[in-house]
Chain A
Amino acid sequence: MSGTPSTATALGLILCHDCKRLNDARNLKAHGLCCRCGSRLHARKPESLARTWALTLTACLLYVPANVLPVMTVLMTGRSEADTILSGVKALLIGGMWPLALLVFFASITVPVLKLLVLIFLLLSVQMKSHWRPRERTALYRLTETIGRWSMIDIFVIAILVALVQVGALASITAGPGAVAFGGVVVSTMLAAISFDPRLIWDAMETPHEVD
């Protein structure tokens, strides 16, 4: 192989993001739609950096109320107690259920923070046209895309507790505004990962090496 690798873009081809069919960029059928599945073709995901930044920053902002506001309120024999995400983990830990506490801590706190940091790192590295370890950065992106969904555990726990514990004044659980913000964090980080295009990492490799 000579210097430039044969990418679809270099060969004048566009990969359909949905059905993975290659289309000839100069011979597109009506309105730039894929010849096989009819979805709109883009050489790269549209406005990838702008959209991913917008969604990542949204998630960063929502992260604050998600952790400060109560995700649910437990009313037990007249006593009302507000639970945040972290206090929920603490309750599990005090109850001696440390494997479960670890799991919830990982899914609700580690994963969202790690995901935001990785997205910001990938965005910055692409914008600085970094040549640093593209293969590892792509793998990091794939990992982010896969683990994001597991943060939904807490939302599901709230949904089930709210459904089951409804015995009037004796014991009842209601959801709290923190849950809405936390759901927002999960959804916007998932959308951010979906709108990021890992091929941008490789496009930067073809530009001359800058100081990085």
Chain B
Amino acid sequence: MMSHLTNNLPPDAGGGSVLQEQAHTLLACPDCDLVFPLPCLSPGEKARCVRCGAVLMEHQAHGIDYSIALALTSLVLFVLSNTFPLLKLQIAGREQIGAFTTGVHALYDQGFWEIAWLVLLVTIIAPLFRIISVLYVLLPLWFGRRLLGAARIFRWMEILRPWAMSEVFMLGILVAMVKLGDLASIQPGVALYSFGGLILFMAATDASLDEHAIWMRLEDGA
């Protein structure tokens, strides 16, 4: 379901007397700056900008308890993915075990610290920060509370969004497995399966977050 908003503001809105209180009931398109009155959406509905087509708001069908459950599952899968071997490789009569961070170590040891840090940031730090942030912000909200710095953490979660690249990493693992196929025999480890699940649960957590509603609750002091 999709509702296309119209930009019909009250005539006095353009007169230059928009106060902070009124600003609270308005919405601006982040991509083209057009202002709209806050739409009233039913669960599952999405509001798009009439002028440029950007998604302005999405009323999620499920509450924050749903996001919390998904984030908790993600956290468990994240721990599993980082504990168990990712791939086992039989090469020249020897067995090599690759864990989640073996690549980072190997790159660092070879002197490629720039890529080592980049890979660490986009496969471990950013995804883990995002999972923990969801729990840090939403769990207290669920109990009607707000922890110190919740707004700042929720803000950083948004900033780090493009840098969490777990699904790209998964594709990289698959490409590497195929490339090694004729060189050695490869067996997937436990972590590969849990990592597959992690990607699905992280995407579901992301999709379930109702940013607008969460920000409103953070602003109202829970």
Contacts and interface: CB of A to CB of B under 8 A. Distances in A.
A is bound by B = yes
A20 B122 CA distance: 25
A135 B122 contact: no
A138 B152 contact: no
A103 interface: yes
Interface in A110-160: 134-135, 138-139, 141-142, 145, 148-150, 152-160
B27 A22 contact: yes
A70 interface: no
B183 A165 contact: yes
Nearest to A194: B162
Contact of B103 (A91, A97, A159, A198): A159
Contacts of A160: 87, 98, 103, 172-173, 176
Contacts of A1: 7-8
A55 B23 CA distance: 34
B35 interface: yes
Given A159-B119, A201-B32, A190 B92 contact: no
B30 A97 contact: no
B96 A135 contact: no
A171 B184 CA distance: 10
A167 B94 CA distance: 8
Range of interface residues on B (Cβ < 8 Å): 35 or more
B4 interface: no
Given A163-B106, A175-B107, A36 B218 contact: yes
B119 to A, nearest CB: 5
Given A1-B7, A162-B110, A139 B53 contact: yes
Contacts of B215: 19-21, 36-37
B180 A165 contact: yes
Given A36-B151, A157-B175, A171-B91, A13 B26 contact: yes
A158 B105 CA distance: 13
Nearest to A139: B53
A69 B105 CA distance: 23
A100 interface: yes
A17 interface: yes
Interface string A166-205: 1100110011000110011001001000100011011100
A24 B171 CA distance: 45
Nearest to B57: A20
A15 B28 contact: yes
B129 interface: no
15 contacts: A13-B26, A13-B35, A19-B215, A37-B154, A103-B175, A139-B52, A139-B53, A156-B168, A159-B119, A160-B172, A163-B102, A163-B106, A167-B96, A170-B91, A202-B51
Closest 9 CB pairs of A and B: A156-B172, A159-B103, A163-B102, A160-B176, A163-B103, A22-B23, A7-B33, A8-B28, A202-B32
Given A153-B172, A159-B119, 18 more contacts: A8-B28, A11-B13, A18-B158, A19-B158, A21-B219, A22-B28, A37-B155, A38-B151, A138-B31, A154-B172, A155-B115, A157-B179, A160-B173, A162-B110, A165-B89, A180-B114, A183-B115, A190-B163
Interface of B: 7-9, 13-14, 16, 18-20, 23-24, 26-28, 30-35, 51-54, 87, 89, 91-92, 94, 96, 98, 102-107, 110, 112, 114-115, 118-119, 122-123, 151-152, 154-155, 158-159, 162-163, 165, 168-169, 171-173, 175-176, 178-180, 182-184, 211-212, 215, 218-219
